Amino acid sequence: MTSNAPVRLLDLRQVTLPAGLVLNSEDSAGVVWHLEDLSGWDPTGSTGEVTQRAYQSGGWASRAFHTPRTLAIQAVVVAPTPAALLDAKDRLAAAIPLDDLDELRVDEAGTSRSVWIRQDGDPIFKDINARATRVSLQLVAPDYRRLRSGPASTLTTGLPSSSGGLAVPFAVPFAIAATTVTGVLSVVNAGTTTAPAVVRLDGPVQRPVIRHEEQGLELLFDLILDAGQWLEVDLDTHTVMLNGQASRRGLMRGRWPTITPGTNTLSWSSLTTSPSAAMTVSWRDAWK
């Protein structure tokens, strides 16, 4: 018998809370976690305002920024026994971080996206009977973006160089191909908003420069990286860390590029060249 009842979007979603607790699933203890409602997963609001011009038509528009993401979850928890329900409540309460941020993942329509959340307000449990309760959770994500779940995308290239090939006096058609390293990476952000990205430079290099070709922006670093040293440049938080410990932001000049939706061509160079030097870019596609 075929049902003509419409399928609700929430029936196709799985929400994974920190500690691996999955809504819209049944766990190994026989507890069913049914997601009733998820609000705040759509694009966030804006801080922008428009004020009326004095004695004129129209208005003045302020700068606009995305607001933090506030999520509200309604769920029904059904357990095989009252003791199992009490344990489920404890596990749910423990899964919501109070201070440090942790990952909340939403899987739907073959995609998996995450936000980093913590508790906002009071969790509410309203028992339906001895084996079932209705749960209301409010969570906040300071970063409004929904990021692609799983490992970050990563690309690596060496410094621009060319080696090998055949020089005069050898004649055509005898040829030996040269090996070329471009020093250029095509970083593709498949999302709809600026993606967080970290650029890592591994030495040895001298006064390295990172360029964003489409935006015409570059970052120049007045330092020398020896072999075994690295520099982490966070394009999102605007930090520059040497060997993951010491800030070198004061040795940087230039304007910060961003990883916008679509293709972003990043290149780099150095006053010296070395086959072991490398630039690695790690990023996550981001959606509003």
CB 123 within 8 A of CB 78: no
Taking the alpha carbons of 114, 118, 124, 128 in that order, is the dihedral positive or negative? positive
Question: Residue 237: which residues within 8 A CB-CB, separation 6 or more?
Answer: none
pLDDT digits (tens, 9 = 90+) for 27-41: 999 999 999 999 999
Model pLDDT, residue 213: 97
> Structurally, what CATH architecture does the domain formed by 153-287 represent?
Sandwich (2.60)
If pLDDT is split at 50, 70 and 90, which confidence band does 172 have?
low
Kindly state the average pLDDT of the residues 209-215.
Answer: 98
Pick the CATH number of 9-46+60-144 from 2.30.30.140, 2.40.30.200, 2.60.40.60, 2.60.40.10: 2.40.30.200
Three-state DSSP state, 163: strand
Using the predicted structure, report yes or no on whether residue 176 has a pLDDT greater than 80.
no
Distance CA 279, CA 202 (A): 6
If pLDDT is split at 50, 70 and 90, which confidence band does 182 have?
confident
Question: Residue 113: which residues within 8 A CB-CB, separation 6 or more?
Answer: 105, 106, 146, 147, 148, 149, 287
Kind and range of the H or E element at 87? helix 82-95
Distance CA 243, CA 203 (A): 11
pLDDT digits (tens, 9 = 90+) for 103-151: 999 999 899 999 999 999 999 999 999 999 999 999 999 999 999 999 9
**In 10 A of CB 152, how many CB atoms?**
15
If pLDDT is split at 50, 70 and 90, which confidence band does 3 have?
very low
Using the predicted structure, report yes or no on whether residue 219 has a pLDDT greater than 60.
yes
Structure tokens at 18: 């920190």
Q: Phi/psi class of residue 213: alpha, beta or left (left: φ > 0; alpha: ψ in -120 to 50)?
A: alpha
Model pLDDT, residue 179: 47
Please indicate whether the domains covering 9-46+60-144 and 153-287 agree at the CATH topology level. no
Distance CA 177, CA 14 (A): 52
Which residues partner with 126 through β-bridges?
134
Domain ranges of the chain: 9-46+60-144, 153-287
**In 10 A of CB 12, how many CB atoms?**
11
pTM above 0.85, yes or no: no
Give φ, ψ of 37 to 5 degrees: -155, 145
